[in-house]
Amino acid sequence: MKEFDFIKQITPSFYKQSSVVKGIGDDGAVIKPPNGHELVVVADAMVEGVHFSLDYMSFHDVGHRVLAANVSDLCAMGSTPLYYIVTISVPTQYTKEDISQLYNGMQGLAKSFNMDLIGGDTTSSDQLMISITAFGSVLSNQKRLRSQAELGDLVFVTGYLGESGYGLHLLEKKEPDSYFINRHKRPVPRYHFIQASSRIDRLSLNDISDGISTELNEIAEASSVDITINYSQLPVHTDMATLQEDWLRELVLSAGEDFELVGTCSKEAWVQLEDACHQFNIPITSIGQVRMQAGERPTVKLREEERDIVLDREGYEHS
Ligand SMILES: Nc1ncnc2c1ncn2[C@@H]1O[C@H](COP(=O)(O)OP(=O)(O)O)[C@@H](O)[C@H]1O
Ligand SMILES: Cc1ncc(C[n+]2csc(CCOP(=O)(O)OP(=O)(O)O)c2C)c(N)n1
Ligand SMILES: [Mg+2]
Ligand SMILES: [Mg+2]
Ligand SMILES: [Mg+2]
């Protein structure tokens, strides 16, 4: 792959965001953050063999998925996506056409969110790695932090849990394409949740990359509260409800990569949030409550048949 030709090929002919002063083509990009907004910056990388396998994913799928993971983090901060920077490390066996497909995957998703590619870096490597840094803007009083959960809040989650993990299992078994496989290959970040929730004063929010057990523990820790969720309230797609019980439990609590949003809000705000999400066609379910912190460290509990068990971070961890 000739680096220079390739950069020319991916350079946009114009930028959708008027705040891009200088995009691709100099030593750095120059951006002028939208007036009255704060800039949110996120980074997420994906590595072949760790986050995806090219045995069953196309380059287009991989591009879509890595940008989706970054946009999901922007949404989890309450911000509107603006721009992204891509760093790729490419093994020599991959062609210019392969990498063009990867960029097509990113650009397809970027188009639906009006995001601009404003720079990046390219290196050779033994393993395909794509690292994205993405930027979003948020009004200062609309940031959605993990530390904003309060005593008495309801806990909510968007969409259905465990679908991506189930899709990965079907892919590994070489099953034909299906709804669940598509949920794994082409996750769609909850972009409209940001608009749907814009009138709510305070939300704590996290996106589900590692699994809801991990994400809820992060909210509990950041907010110094205990959280209890009810297993029977966790939203599960009807076609997964028949899976073997222990496996389903694992998929729902810890498989991760659903890129749904989990968070908390006051009971008064919940009525408004539920209504707004329905108007935007976003499935949302109340799954538990925020309680006073009782022990030495913030704890998440799972209530099942009137019994509470401590729910540790069971989600994915890089060793
Ligand atoms: N290698 C790193 N260097 C600096 N900060 C990091 C690194 N890895 C993660 N972080 C920071 O740690 C925090 C949690 O990261 P992570 O668990 O990956 O969040 P998420 O699950 O939302 O992607 C974020 O603020 C992130 O920017
Ligand atoms: C080939 C392959 N093996 C395993 C997985 C499962 N997996 C890999 S990383 C991960 C968790 C999310 O990745 P991480 O880098 O922790 O994302 P972040 O929390 O930083 O957004 C999961 C469930 C996968 N998607 N593909
Ligand atoms: Mg991360
Ligand atoms: Mg996240
Ligand atoms: Mg992680």
- What ipTM does this complex have? 0.96
* 26 vs 133: CA distance, rounded Å: 18
- Is it the case that residue 2 has pLDDT exceeding 70? no
Domains belonging to the chain, first-starting first, are: 3-140 (3.30.1330.10), 144-310 (3.90.650.10)
Phi, psi for 85 (deg, rounded to 5): -120, 135
257 carries a ligand binding annotation: yes
pLDDT of 142 over the 80 cut? yes
Mean pLDDT of 174-195: 98
Q: What is the pLDDT of residues 74-124, one digit of tens each?
A: 999 999 999 999 999 999 999 999 999 999 999 999 999 999 999 999 999
Taking the CA of residue 49 as reference, the ligand 2 atom at the shortest distance is 1
**Half-sphere exposure of residue 73: CA atoms within 13 angstroms, side-chain side:** 18
pLDDT at 1: 59
- pLDDT given at position 5: 77
Under the banding of pLDDT at 50, 70 and 90, the label for residue 125 is very high
CA 153 to each of CA 19, 203, 208, 259: distance values in angstroms, whole numbers, following the listed order: 37, 9, 19, 22
**Per residue in 241-283, pLDDT tens?**
999 999 999 999 999 999 999 999 999 999 999 999 999 999 9
Q: Is 226 in the pocket of ligand 1 (CB under 6 A)?
A: no
Say how far apart CA 316 and CA 313 lie, in whole Å.
9
The protein residue whose alpha carbon is closest to atom 25 in ligand 2 is: 51
| pLDDT at 184 > cutoff 70 | yes
Average pLDDT over residues 164-184: 98
Question: Which atom of ligand 1 is nearest the CA belonging to 43?
Answer: 27
From 92-96, 282-286, 292-296, the region with the lowest mean pLDDT: 292-296
Any atom of ligand 1 within 6 Å of the Cβ of 116: no
Which pLDDT belongs to residue 75?
Answer: 98
Q: What is the pLDDT of residues 198-224, one digit of tens each?
A: 999 999 999 999 999 999 999 999 999
How far apart are the C-alpha atoms of 234 and 241, rounded to whole Å?
11
- Angle (CA) 315-317-319 rounded to 5° is 155
Helical spans, DSSP H, in 137-211: 163-172, 179-185, 191-196
Residue 109 CA to ligand 4 center (angstroms) comes to 18
Q: Is 159 annotated as a binding residue?
A: no
Percent of the chain with pLDDT over 90: 92
User: For residues 73 and 71, what is the distance between their CA atoms, to the nearest angstrom?
Assistant: 5
pLDDT at 153 over 80: yes
